[in-house]
Amino acid sequence: MRTPSRKYRDTNGIEVELAELRWLDIYVGLEGGGGPGLAVNLVLKERLPQLLKQWRSIPHIVYGENDRDSDGWLPPELVIARLTSSWRPQGAEGLGATHLLLAWFSYAQDPFARLDELIATIDWSASAKDRRWD
């Protein structure tokens, strides 16, 4: 799914652009037995890694893995943002860009506002990966 362009700034003022946004219900398809402990374990150990594997060459940061409600459940939605920036490390050769995935668990909140908060705390130059195009 292509997302309309949105631009953000990291903690150092580096401009970062949202390239893709996925918003998923993490418990869809999981069997009801076993309670929250089993379901959360399946989400963190199987479902989340499987989703992130689609972008295996891009580093990722996941927020909220320990944010459970009083019954032990993670928030029911997972948001994954694929980010890119024209910023490149000093000395990088050729054409290219830097990339990073941010993922977080959510309770139906505005993903763009949350993304703005998260990016503002990230040091893009230390977290993103450079990829050459040429």
User: What are the boundaries of each domain within the chain?
Assistant: 6-132
Structure token pair of residue 63: 């927020």
pTM of the model: 0.87
Structure token pair of residue 51: 């989703």
Mean pLDDT of 2-29: 86
User: Residue 82: beta bridge partners?
Assistant: 20, 101
Mean pLDDT of 91-111: 90
Left if phi > 0, otherwise alpha if psi is -120 to 50, otherwise beta: which for 106? beta
Asked if pLDDT for residue 5 goes beyond 70, the answer is no
> Are 101 and 59 spatial neighbours (Cβ–Cβ below 8 Å)?
yes
Tens of pLDDT, residues 44-67: 999 999 999 999 889 999 999 888
Distance, CA of 81 to CA of 122 (rounded, Å):
14
Mean pLDDT of 118-123: 95
Confidence band, pLDDT 50/70/90 cuts, at residue 122: very high
Least confident segment among 14-18, 26-30, 47-51? 26-30
* Percentage of the residues of the chain whose pLDDT score is greater than 90: 60
Tens of pLDDT, residues 65-98: 888 888 889 999 999 999 999 999 888 888 889 9
